[in-house]
Amino acid sequence: MKGWLKAGWLSVLLLVSSLPVSAAPVVVPATQQFDLTSTAGGRTYRIFVGIPAKPAPADGYRVLYVMDANAMFLTALESVRALERRPDVPKDLATVVVGIGYPEGVDTSVERTLDLTPPGSGSPRIQAPSGGGDAFLAFIERDVKPKVASLAKVDPARQGIFGHSFGGLFVLHALDRRPDLFQSYMAASPSVWFDPAIRDRLASPVVMAAKPRLLVTAGEFEQTPSPSMRVQPNAERMMGVLRERKQVDSARGIADLVGRREGVETRFVEIMGEDHGSVIPSAISRAVYFMLAPPLPVPAVPTAQDYLKMSPEQRYDLRLRVRDLPDVSRIPWLNGLKKTLHAGLTKAQAEALHAERNRMDADNGTRPHEVNADK
């Protein structure tokens, strides 16, 4: 009897699995896509737009522009909507997500190499045409932005741009060329190796009239190979590429260079446990939070005696809050604390607090911010 039941259920499962499956497309609410041709270059792009269901704020929706939209638009859209649903964000937070990609039938890898790389850049490893970054930036300004503004009321003073890899390099190029075109620039794993001169351009002492914000991210295993990579058949070649490109060091260095400009908020985040490909969802999530989350309040610098009266847990919580501040706020705060502790503590007290900090970081799996406080 039991054998018959098993055979009967198997027959039912096989019958169900053989039934025709509906091929109805999945529809994402409040989104649209269309093709848009550049008025200057004549090339056609696929544009993806997600407009919030809630009414626009008085000043208009914020706008996040996402490169490589064929692969990244939906992840960015859901990251934005998830943040908007959180109870700790302003109720008027509403953002239009705009993805710029390519129509079906084109070689996306070739097209993006041209669009996302600065003029004069190149590498012997890449044979596709490159250097069309200026034309692509002009397309965004002259064609995409007006089209988006015709679809929804947007706030020109609250807009951001995100890109990964070549897209991250393009974000840095946009920051260099047009720091006034967006207010938030998010460069994930930027391919600085393809255009090393971007460092010199971003290190220019020229003071930006605009005060943009910059987030640069990179995955831990983009420079140091992961344990799984070390056992792959082509491990030596891939490890050589990672060492040559120095993705993490380059990303951190770019953030440091831009952060030296007066009044420009910059942040570098190394995302643990991720490589160049796997880091994308985490990088998008951090970019969305960087652009849209309310700014963190800067706590008052405690006196030496007030700092001593805190419990170790209170001091640790305070340090975590400060570590999450952008450099433009965090560095002056740390310098102020260093000054007041130096004047108000004995050597033994200072050494005890230093040991406590190291112990709390070890116990909680955290580590101090790597940017020097006295930069």
Catalytic residues: 165, 222, 276
Of 347, 349, 369, 367, nearest in space to 358 by CA: 367
Residue type, 150: S
Give the full edge-to-edge strand order of the sheet including 61-67.
31-37, 44-50, 95-101, 61-67, 154-164, 184-188, 213-219, 265-271
Of 178, 151, 169, 166, nearest in space to 71 by CA: 166
Is 204 within 8 Å of 258 (Cβ atoms)?
Answer: no
Residues 364 and 163: their CA atoms lie apart, in Å, by 32
Is 147 within 8 Å of 123 (Cβ atoms)?
Answer: no
Is 118 within 8 Å of 169 (Cβ atoms)?
Answer: yes
DSSP class of residue 119 equals: T
Which pairing describes strands 154-164 and 95-101: parallel, antiparallel, or unpaired? Answer: unpaired
Positive or negative, the Cα torsion across 78, 82, 85, 89?
Answer: negative
Of 167, 120, 195, 132, nearest in space to 284 by CA: 167
Positive or negative, the Cα torsion across 307, 312, 313, 318?
Answer: positive
Kindly report the number of other CB atoms within 10 A of residue 127's CB atom. 10
Positive or negative, the Cα torsion across 263, 340, 312, 347?
Answer: positive
Kindly report the number of other CB atoms within 10 A of residue 14's CB atom. 9
